[in-house]
Amino acid sequence: MATDPRAALDRFVAALEAHLQAAQRRRGEQDPAVEAAYRALADAFEAYDEALYSAHDEVTPFVLYDDVEDADDDEDADDDEDAEDEDADEDLEEEDLDDAEDDTEDDTEDDTEIDDEAGDDARGDGPATRL
């Protein structure tokens, strides 16, 4: 039997409140009351998310990490992306890099071509232009 989403939401909200209270009363970094409230909150959220999906074919935009391994998997994926970026940088040849001298030479060539075309038109060698 599917759980009523409203009842699951009420339990989820109560778990949020209990987690807040435990955090406010924390007695150290690994307070067992906070850890218990954390697990209860995660369980209540999963129950709500499943009830919502069962009843309305809808999900929430949140993701729970089951344990430290899931978080480590995400970090490994980030490390893989960083390694790929470094490999791409190493493949880039010096000649592929743009430098100011090349730009200046290219601009000068472009200006010369424009001047030549304008000169051709002035001598009547180019196409006639009417205004």
Residue 9 and residue 15: Cα distance in Å, rounded? 10
Q: What is the pLDDT of residues 89-131, one digit of tens each?
A: 565 555 555 555 555 555 556 555 555 555 555 555 555 545 5
Q: Could you give the C-alpha distances from 38 to 11, 70, 84, 103, in angstroms and in order? A: 14, 17, 36, 60
Longest Cα–Cα distance of the chain, Å, equals 93
Residue 12 and residue 63: Cα distance in Å, rounded? 15
Q: What is the pLDDT of residues 29-72, one digit of tens each?
A: 999 999 999 999 999 999 999 999 999 999 999 999 876 665 56
The 10 Å CB-count burial string (b at 16+, else e) for 55-91 is eeeeeeeeeeeeeeeeeeeeeeeeeeeeeeeeeeeee
- Rounded to the nearest angstrom, the gap between the alpha carbon of residue 65 and the centroid of all alpha carbons in its chain is 18
Q: Residue 111: what pLDDT?
A: 57
Topology of domain 1-61, CATH: Helix Hairpins (1.10.287)
State mean pLDDT over 66-85.
64
